[in-house]
Structure formats: C-alpha cells, structure tokens
Structure 1
C-alpha cells in the first residue's frame, strides 16, 4: 500500500480492518486509529452510524482524539476501506466549466462546420447561461460501484474507453429536503475523494439518441467509484470551493484544477438535489470532475495503469487497473 496521506484537522473518520478481520469504524488521529465500536456508547457498526448522530458525535470525537490513554492502534498495518457506505449517491455532471468545454470539443461530430475556437466559445456561453439560470445537472449512482481507495479496479471486458474523473464528494449529515442554498452546508458532515470512472464508449445510447445518456452502463460497474481514504469533517475544510484536485496516471499529472472552476458549489448542489429528493445521513454528493480526463488527452485506462488522486486536506488514494479477460 502507498504511504497514507494525512488529512487536514485534528482527526478524520475511516473504515479499517486488521489482517483478514471484519471492517470497523475508526477515528484517525496522529497516525493512529481508535475503534469507535468500543469508544462510543452506542457501539456504531459503521461510519454511517456515526454520521447519523453527527451533532452529538462531533464533540465526542474531538475529546477522543485528544485522549492518549485510549486503546489506539497504529495505522500502519491496517487495511483502509472506503470510508462510508452510502444509501444514495447523487452525481453532478457537466459541473466544471473547462471540463465540459473539453468534452464537447472531443465529442464533436466529424462534419461539425465550426472551428475548435468557435465551438469552445459557443460551449462556454452555454455554461455561463446554465450558471446564471441555476440549473445543475444531477443523476444517480449505485453504492455497489464503490471500492476502497487502495483497491484494484477491474476494467470490464466490454468497456472500450474507460476514463478517470477525480471529484470532491460531500457527505450528508442529516436528512435534507427543500433546504435553501444559505442553509445547505449545515447538512454536510464532511468531505472525501471519489474517482468516478466512466466508460466513454457507452455514455450515449447509440440505438436511441433521443433518450440521451446511459449512466447505468457507463459508470456503475463494480469498483468504478474508488472512495476515500478518509471522511474529513467539514469544520476542517476551510473552503470546499477552493481545493486543489489532482490526479496522476503512472506518475504523470493529468488533472490539476481548483474547485473554483465548479459552476455550482457544494451548497447549490445540495440545495438543488433537496428540491426533489430527500438526502439521508451518509449519502454522497459528487461534485463533478475538473478538466484533464483521458478523453481530453487521447489516453484512456488500460491494464496495469496506476491512478493517484488527491484533494487538498483530504488525503490521497492509489488504485491500480486490472483488465478483465474477454
């Protein structure tokens, strides 16, 4: 396993296991881990159970992180799993201005009469209009696609153009329905890292163009959402709208962008989703991918590739791709 990058703030939450042991919710502080099943009175079975009592748990977690007399375990030697098991995953598409421009240019029809510069200008105008009209684009992902931050990722035999999309993910603290933008961040427990893998070849339905995109097929294969390593409390993240999102492929930087380029920030996304759906404790809100995907570089994922993703203050994940046999 790669060196485990430490999160911002005095502590973070994660899901851990000893060799061949059962995963447990843990408090990470100072390169050590505390089993929260034993440290908290209600013996939470997982991190989601801690988040479900977030307002009560937060001061207790602070106190535990400062108590050196507790039964701490060394982080080294523990396996790190995805930090939380959500019931729902809400994913924002087309949320980074430069990313959308790059994708639209890459997917242009061969007979498009516009020059690249004309196409970019036209798409940029559409992005600016969407931002002004407050119209995010959100779809649903499956929890079964989640895998750990250091696990191998299987590239399905049918996936012709597997691509990476490193994203900031917000973790919901309490039920949220019809909340305002001004109040939305009060419903966020913390943040983590998600790599929302996508098979570009199956994004669009070739047989039914009027229907449009096929998010089930292109994004929800098992392991297509490496998550974590940590859930970092929102209070330890000064500004989710000013974080650096970086992905390296085999050591080469491919994505390196600030969340400032988001059209819709975390508060606007949470509020928008809550107008229709009810967000539940532990749910994930993926905020979209910045520029620098494989479709832009003309270099998609293949067997043996190693992705290293990091976001300011949230740690880093490292996943290796393994091609499924035909």
Structure 2
C-alpha cells in the first residue's frame, strides 16, 4: 500500500483487515495500527461499538495512543475499509453558496428570460433568505451505499450522468433528539470524508415533475458513498467551518473550496436533523458538496476515472471508476 495521508491529532480510528482476515476496529498512530478488539477489555467488534461508548472510551483511546509498548501492525500491511458502518445517513443538499448558484444556473430553462448575472443574483438572495430562516435541506441515504476509501466505484449501467460530490461528514457520538444549536457539537464524535456520488440524469422525475427529486434512484446505488479513510476525533479538528475540501479527477483539481462557504455549519445541521429525527451513535451527517461538480465542468464520470478526495486533517481517499460488469 502506498503511503497514506496522515490525519490531524494524536490518533484516528479506522477499520482494517489483514490479508485473509476479518475487519477489525483499529487505532491509527503514525503508520501503525493497534487492534482495538484486543486492546480494550470489552473487545469491540467494530468502530461503531467504540463510538457508542464514546465519552467512556475517549480517555482510554488517548492512553492507548501514548503507550508505545503495545503491539501494533504496520499500516502498509493492512487493507483500509470504510471507517464506520452507520445505521442512518442524513445528507444535506444545496448547502454551499457557490455550488447552488452554479447548479441553478446550469439547470435554467431555455425559456428563462434572465441573464446569467440576474439569475445568479436572485439565487444568492434566495439562499440568504434560507440561511436566515434556518431551513437546511436534508434527505436520507442508505447504509448500503457505503464503500471503502480505496475501493473501486462501480458505475451502474443505467446511470447516464454519474457525478462526484466530496463532502465533510460528521459522525454522531450519542443519541440526539431536539438538540439546541449551541449544544449540537457535543454530539459529534468526529469527522470523516464522504464522496456522495449522484447520477444527475435521474435527480428529477421526468414522468411526473410535480413529484420533484428522486434521491433513491440517483444516489443510492451500492458503493455510491466512498467513506474515509479515517474517523478523526472532533477535538483534533479546530474548526469544521474552516476546512479545505479538494477533489482531483485524474490529477486535475475540480473542487477546491473552504467549508466557510457552507450556508449551514455542522452544529446547525445536526440540530436541524435532530428536530425531526433521532440521531444514533455512528450515524453520518453529510454537510453538502462545494462548487466544482462534474455537471458544472460538463465532464461526468466514466470508466477508468480516478478520484482523489481530501479534506484538511482528515486524510485522502482514492477511488477508481469501473463499469458495471467489468472484471
């Protein structure tokens, strides 16, 4: 395995496996991994089990990270899987100012009498109103979309316009229901990277436009959410509202934006979701994708493409696109 980008802070969590072995929860320090299923007395089966007892485990994890006497495995000898298996995925849409402007302009009707400048100004005004009224746009994804950070991405044969959407993902630490914004970050265990792939051709229902969007169809193909590589504790990320989100396609930078451009930050999103649903330990709250998607560039994903996504302090994921049925 090539050298992987190191996360911020003294340690990170991940899911690993040795050749021919079963996945295990691991503590990453430097380029070595401690198997937490053996290092913790209660033998957690996976990272979600560690997160479910987050307040209790966090001091123990710090202690383990500082203990050089414990046996660790070289990261280079292990396969890296998605860091956690969530029960629920909450996805924020239209949450980056520049991204929304670009999408709205790209999807304008040919009969729209406005100039591009007029359209952009009106859209910006509408977003300011959304932010002031505290109305994020959140929908639900399926856990079966989760894939590893270095796994191949299978492009379904029916997906005519598959697109990338690199995002900051918050990992929930404890049950959260009707949480005030001021307390919401206390419910976040840490952060990871998600690439929330979308088939642009099936976002909207053409058979009955009044139905609107079809998120099941366009976003929930198996493996459409490469996740990780690491779960980085929240304390290691100074400000989730000031991170750089960068995606390269075949080495060319396509997305490169700060989370400062988000309309709704992590605290507001977690609070908003908790007003309608109960968040559970290990759940993901995806915070939306910045400008620079394929629909903006007029260049959608195709077989052989390699995506490299990174976020400040969270490492880098690298995935290759393959056609459905390809060997």
Q: Does 1:18 align with 2:18?
A: yes
| Contact persistence 2:170–2:192 (CA under 8 A) | yes
| Contact persistence 1:188–1:234 (CA under 8 A) | yes
Q: Quote the residue 2:320 is aligned against.
A: 320
Q: Quote the residue 1:89 is aligned against.
A: 89
SS in 2 for 1:183: helix
| Contact persistence 1:2–1:318 (CA under 8 A) | no
In structure 1, how many angstroms separate the alpha carbons of the residues matched to 2:3 and 2:112?
47
Q: Quote the residue 1:99 is aligned against.
A: 99
Q: Quote the residue 2:299 is aligned against.
A: 299
In structure 2, how many angstroms separate the alpha carbons of the residues matched to 1:202 and 1:2?
36
Shift of 1:3: 2.8
Q: Quote the residue 2:167 is aligned against.
A: 167
1:202-217 matched pairs, under 5 angstroms: 202-217=202-217
**Deviation readout 1:215-234 (Å, 9 max, x if unpaired):** 00000001100000000000
Q: TM-score, normalised by structure 1?
A: 0.99
Shift of 1:253: 0.2
In structure 2, how many angstroms separate the alpha carbons of the residues matched to 1:181 and 1:106?
33
In structure 1, how many angstroms separate the alpha carbons of the residues matched to 2:41 and 2:109?
60
Q: Does 1:45 align with 2:83?
A: no
Q: Quote the residue 1:189 is aligned against.
A: 189
**Deviation readout 1:133-154 (Å, 9 max, x if unpaired):** 1000000000000000000000
In structure 1, how many angstroms separate the alpha carbons of the residues matched to 2:226 and 2:164?
10
| Contact persistence 1:181–1:268 (CA under 8 A) | yes
SS in 1 for 2:182: coil
Q: Quote the residue 1:242 is aligned against.
A: 242
Pairs aligned (count): 326
Shift of 1:301: 0.2
| Contact persistence 2:3–2:76 (CA under 8 A) | no
SS in 1 for 2:209: coil
Q: Quote the residue 1:155 is aligned against.
A: 155
Structural RMSD (CA): 0.8
In structure 2, how many angstroms separate the alpha carbons of the residues matched to 1:229 and 1:113?
46
In structure 2, how many angstroms separate the alpha carbons of the residues matched to 1:280 and 1:171?
9
In structure 2, how many angstroms separate the alpha carbons of the residues matched to 1:20 and 1:304?
27
Q: TM-score, normalised by structure 2?
A: 0.99
Structure 2: 5+ residue stretches without partners: none
SS in 1 for 2:180: coil
